[in-house]
């Protein structure tokens, strides 16, 4: 099984590249952000709790995310693996993911780290906000999300480096150029 963690700051292209990987490699795609936005739209209890955190640019509690992920994995069928998009975001979440996968006889194969500088990220997110109307794509929330990313999430790269599972991917260029770098990496696995 090919289990990929797609990693990078908000706006680095994780969703776009995940869609390409999903279609090219027959992988399931679990985007915690998409799952949470669906819960918010449906006004579920999880959605109400999640909205409070998201509107402040904060990460949700690990237990909440892990429970959601475990249930989502149980619902998957014949995929050749999974792309984890937006999870894990902290070392405790990475350890929880290992436990969740280990009980299924699997493990994370690789962490693909899409690397994009902050100025480009802000530009991309503001543009996405204009096009999508996402409430979390405004200047104040973007700055908060980037601060959270750099302080709480970025250290996760070192965790996967220590396990020999980290690959840096230059996240600047056309969508196809970036996917070409990812495809080259996956073909070497």
Over residues 167-183, the pLDDT tens digits come to: 999 999 999 999 999 99
* Alpha carbon distances (Å) from 111 to 3, 4, 9, 97, 144: 9, 6, 13, 13, 24
User: 90 pLDDT band (50/70/90 cuts)?
Assistant: confident
Q: Does residue 14 carry a pLDDT above 80? A: yes
Instruction: Give the dihedral sign, CA 114/33/127/176.
Output: positive
**Predicted pLDDT at 64:** 86
**Predicted pLDDT at 50:** 86
Over range 84-96, report the average pLDDT.
Answer: 92
| Strand ordering across the sheet containing 110-115 | 28-31, 81-85, 2-7, 110-115, 166-170
Q: Does residue 44 carry a pLDDT above 80? A: yes
Over residues 113-172, the pLDDT tens digits come to: 999 999 999 999 999 989 988 878 889 999 999 999 999 899 999 999 999 999 999 999
Find the DSSP H helices in 112-174: 118-132, 139-148, 156-162
User: 54 pLDDT band (50/70/90 cuts)?
Assistant: confident
By the 8 A CB rule, do 64 and 49 touch? yes
**Predicted pLDDT at 132:** 87
Burial (CB < 10 A; 0-12, 13-18, 19+), residue 48, is exposed
**Predicted pLDDT at 38:** 86
């Amino acid at each position: 099984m090919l289990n990929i963690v797609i990693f990078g700051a908000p706006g680095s292209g994780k969703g776009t590249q995940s869609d390409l990987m999903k279609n090219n490699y027959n992988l399931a795609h679990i985007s915690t952000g998409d799952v949470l936005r669906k819960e918010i739209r449906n006004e579920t209890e999880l959605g109400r709790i999640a909205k409070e955190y998201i509107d402040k640019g904060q990460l949700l509690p690990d237990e909440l995310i892990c429970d959601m992920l475990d249930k989502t994995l149980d619902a998957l069928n014949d995929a050749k693996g999974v792309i984890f998009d937006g999870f894990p975001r902290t070392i405790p979440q990475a350890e929880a993911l290992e436990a969740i996968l280990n009980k299924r006889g699997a493990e994370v194969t690789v962490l693909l780290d899409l690397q994009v500088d902050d100025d480009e990220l802000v530009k991309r997110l503001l543009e996405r906000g204009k096009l999508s109307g996402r409430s979390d794509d405004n200047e104040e929330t973007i700055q908060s999300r980037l601060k959270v990313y750099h302080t709480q999430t970025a250290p996760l790269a070192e965790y996967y480096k220590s396990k020999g599972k980290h690959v840096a991917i230059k996240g600047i260029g056309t969508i196809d150029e970036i996917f070409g770098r990812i495809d080259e990496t996956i073909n070497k696995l």
